Chain A
Amino acid sequence: MTAGAAVLQWLGRTIAIVLLVMAGSTVLVRFAPGYLSDAREMDARYADAAHAELSQEAARSRSLPHMLSAEISGWARGDAGISREYGVPVSALILPRLAVTGGLLLRSILLAWTLALSASLLTTAGRNPSPFWQTPATLLLAIPTAAMATLCLLANSGGPVLVMALLLAARDFKFLHRALRTAWLDPHVLQARAQGLRARQVLRAHVLPAIAPQLAALASLSIMTALSAIVPVEVIFDVPGLGQLAWNAALNRDLPVLLAVTMIMALAVVIGGMTPDRPPEWKSV
């Protein structure tokens, strides 16, 4: 297959995924209980305004195909619509939050990798995997993200970066340790070490090149893991990012916002997945 065909195939697949995400989100939100209701209906002061907005929404969402085509044509024109909850263009809500979430993800992943890599290098050098590192990693993997975030909040210590980083580091450490140890015990590496090559040189010249494809695959896995944790972490720590926006949009049945956020997430996953094939032992993850 030529490079052009491969790019076309990737583009086609991406567009298909995005369209599926749009359709899925629209159907789920439109038929979620409470789509055509508003808490303000219960308040005499605001009930009239709420009823007027609901009537408009009811007219707009009467037919699902019409709703979908309106959303798709809006997006095709570069118009993500108006938020039902806030009454402002969705782009005005998304853009500042994109930077917040992007920054949080980046810092978390960097910290997680630094931690995981450091721990893996330390344990790889030993004779056996150290329970000192293995046990905390296993424990961290067992604790749900939301519980870890709440614990940090109650203990008045730690923040979103720490929670995300610990979650990612625990997972990354398991894989990195395994990959490094396998490479470290390869016959040619053992030979190099026996000949007196320094650890730094062994790592740079033999170990890291050998595990580079696994590292790339692990990077994409880190992005996906981080995306799955972003909603609870942002909600619990009140981080004004995309995760918090998605949560509020879901609670308020704010379809235009939810569509935009899910599409961004889908694109991030698709782009994150543009890495070399994962090794067979990671495919179950």
Chain B
Amino acid sequence: MRNSIRLCAFALAILAAAPAKTCLAQAAPRMPGELAWTIGYDPKTFDPAIVDDQESEQVRYLTAGVLLRFNRLTQKVEPELAETWSVSANGRTLTFRLRLGLQFSDGSSLTARDAAWSIRRVLLPSTHAPVAEEFVSPGEVTVETPDARTVIVHLPKRVVGIGKVFDEIAIEPAGRPSQGRITSGPFFVSDYHRSLYVRLRRNPHFYARDAAGVELPYASGVRLDVLENPEQEIRLFLRGAYDVIDDLPPDYFELLRRKDPSTVRDLGPSLNTEQMWFNQAPDAPIPAWEKAWFRNRAFRIAVSQAVHRADLARIAYEGHATPAYSFISPANSIWYNRSLSAPHTDVAAAKAELAAAGFHLSGSVLEDAAGHTVKFSILTNAGNAARLKMATLIQQDLAALGMQVTVVTMDFPALVERLMHTQDYEACLLGLENVDPDPNTMMNIWLSSSPNHQWDPSEKEPATAWEAEIDRLMNEQAGALMSSERKQAVDRVQQIVADQQPFIYLVYPNVLVAVSPRLQGVQPAVLEPALTWNVEDLRLREAR
């Protein structure tokens, strides 16, 4: 038996060694001066023209040289590869003057021909570039290059916020699209191991220099590890394997705060909203009386008044959210309507509103005028702890009105099918991510004809007078020349939405991030990418 004892000791030694090894298996070795953080899944493409998912977009942001960059901190469009740019008085001609001596990462020259080719490429229908849509009529846009440094873009009609569109158009070598291998941005794709990591290397020919004349970017590269599990991400972050964590869920933020409070930052309300809405689609396979409740403004107002938003922020988001009453967050200082009048929490007023609309209590149960018990389900996606907590709290709040609410969670594809195709749901609780502060990007939500007009998608014509007014105002702001006219129209839309409550806004989740103490140059912004928008200025303390 001595041998077996030895064997056992050997096994225990392996047992002790195995965990240590496997814990670190995910992190690839870091190169000197290299930054590292995670992405949730493999980028679908490295071709900057056809990016249609968030992680590919992140790679594009880090690698693409663009004519103009939308500064995430100042929220202003700034020249990047273009030294100067101008828009004609009628808003239909844009002229870009390129910087002198621009080069691609392989050392070849970057001229107006490359810029024109890249713009034309995204406009071609065969490219299927999502950004082409933002030109409204991409087929009618023409691009000319009078000389090697000038690019002129002619638009068939004025496009609101056209400058920001060029933030998404990567300038690539003419006729040589390279899947991010040859770029004019701060980094280029050097190595990709599917499901493991994407490695970006510093572009030695990037045009930018700091105030002291030092070439940017400072970092020798960026490694983006493909990692889905936030617990694993936090564990590796605490070990120094990662430098930043963008977009932390509140529970993980608190977990990290308890372990290392110096690393976490709450940047205040984001542009994103969390809201619930009732299904008002006429073809929805739900009982007619339920449709009648959901189309009843008083019913929606009463529900809105019964919800304790401060509790949602405090409990579901552990204090890292702000009560919401509008689709525009206070973080969006330009467009937020400060004089908005919206229904606030008032359970007595909610009961009175329901009574006036013909609802009555039968014991502790609310019934409509025809005697139907008011009960419905709130659908939300599985796997989002904060949303599930909110739904449960709302269930409790509405019980005070006598409404019987059940909470139903489903995985995202099944939920999308219900929302977008079958309309087989009663109420839904979801969030909306706003990547751009300009309300023009929300046209797809507010136009009644849009498939993303969630409470009643793809209306053939506006179902109500207030929806018709929103249509008119949103179109008006999109064509207005004066920003004051646009602001006026958007303020009015915010007020209509507050009055009608098609979406019952709940909270603006705060932007929660974590930054390694070793990382220098971070200037957190509310807009994405919150921590890495100025990636060329980021560096590790040891490097350089």
Contacts and interface: CB of A to CB of B under 8 A. Distances in A.
A156 B130 contact: no
B53 interface: yes
Given A41-B451, A93-B194, A119 B8 contact: yes
Contacts of A117: 7
Interface string B21-64: 11101100000000000000110110000001100000000000
Contacts of A240: 194-196, 226
Given A37-B420, A96-B195, A159-B25, A42 B413 contact: no
Given A42-B452, A44-B452, A118-B8, A253 B22 contact: no
A96 B194 contact: yes
Contacts of B5: 122
Contacts of A87: 44-45
Contacts of A200: 3
A111 B421 contact: no
B130 A45 contact: yes
A46 B53 contact: yes
Interface residues of B, number: 58
Interface stretch (A160-168, A220-228, A274-282): A160-168
A251 interface: yes
Given A161-B22, A162-B18, A252-B413, A238 B7 contact: no
Given A42-B419, A252-B413, A107 B128 contact: no
Contact of A34 (B21, B196, B226, B415): B415
Nearest to A126: B1
Nearest to B193: A96
Contact of B4 (A48, A125, A235): A125
B161 to A, nearest CB: 14
A33 B414 contact: yes
Contacts of B451: 41, 47
Contact of A39 (B11, B416, B418, B421): B416
Contact of A118 (B4, B44, B416, B418): B4
Contact of A46 (B52, B229, B418): B52
Q: Which of B22, B226, B443 lies at the interface centre, i.e. has the most chain A CB atoms within 10 A of its CB?
A: B22
A107 B10 CA distance: 15
A174 B196 CA distance: 37
Q: Which of A42, A160, A199, A244 lies at the interface centre, i.e. has the most chain B CB atoms within 10 A of its CB?
A: A42
Contacts of A159: 18-19, 21-23, 25
B423 to A, nearest CB: 12
B284 to A, nearest CB: 16
B416 A114 contact: no
Nearest to B415: A34
B445 to A, nearest CB: 8
A111 B18 contact: yes
Interface string A106-139: 0100010011011101100100000000000000
Contacts of B41: 248
Contacts of B7: 114, 117-118, 121
B191 interface: no
Contacts of B231: 150, 153-154
B245 interface: no
Given A111-B15, A159-B19, A92 B417 contact: no
B232 interface: yes
B349 to A, nearest CB: 33
A39 B8 contact: no
Nearest to B228: A238
Interface in B454-508: none
A125 B21 contact: no
Interface string A49-61: 1101000000000
Contact of A238 (B128, B229, B444): B229
B360 to A, nearest CB: 37
B410 A33 contact: yes
B410 A41 contact: no
Nearest to B38: A238
Q: Which of B3, B10, B226 lies at the interface centre, i.e. has the most chain A CB atoms within 10 A of its CB?
A: B3
B130 A161 contact: no
Given A37-B413, A37-B420, A125 B22 contact: no
A156 to B, nearest CB: 6
B441 interface: yes
Q: Which of A36, A37, A47 lies at the interface centre, i.e. has the most chain B CB atoms within 10 A of its CB?
A: A37
Contact of A44 (B10, B430, B444): B444
B122 to A, nearest CB: 13
B224 to A, nearest CB: 14
Contacts of B15: 111, 115, 162, 165
Contacts of B416: 34, 37-39, 41-42
A248 B194 CA distance: 14
Nearest to B432: A42
A122 B4 contact: yes
A156 B19 CA distance: 10
A175 interface: no
Contacts of B130: 45-46, 48-49
A196 to B, nearest CB: 15
Q: Which of B10, B23, B235 lies at the interface centre, i.e. has the most chain A CB atoms within 10 A of its CB?
A: B23
Nearest to A117: B7
B11 A111 contact: yes
A240 B417 CA distance: 29
A13 interface: no
A63 interface: no
Nearest to B7: A118
A48 B133 contact: yes
11 contacts: A34-B414, A35-B413, A44-B444, A48-B130, A125-B4, A152-B19, A236-B229, A237-B229, A238-B26, A238-B228, A251-B413
Interface of A: 32-50, 52, 86-87, 92-93, 96-97, 107, 111, 114-115, 117-119, 121-122, 125, 150, 152-154, 156-162, 165, 199-200, 235-240, 244-245, 248, 251-253
Given A33-B417, A46-B52, A240-B196, 19 more contacts: A34-B416, A37-B417, A39-B412, A49-B52, A86-B44, A87-B45, A93-B194, A111-B14, A118-B4, A125-B1, A159-B19, A159-B23, A162-B15, A162-B22, A235-B228, A237-B229, A238-B232, A240-B195, A244-B228
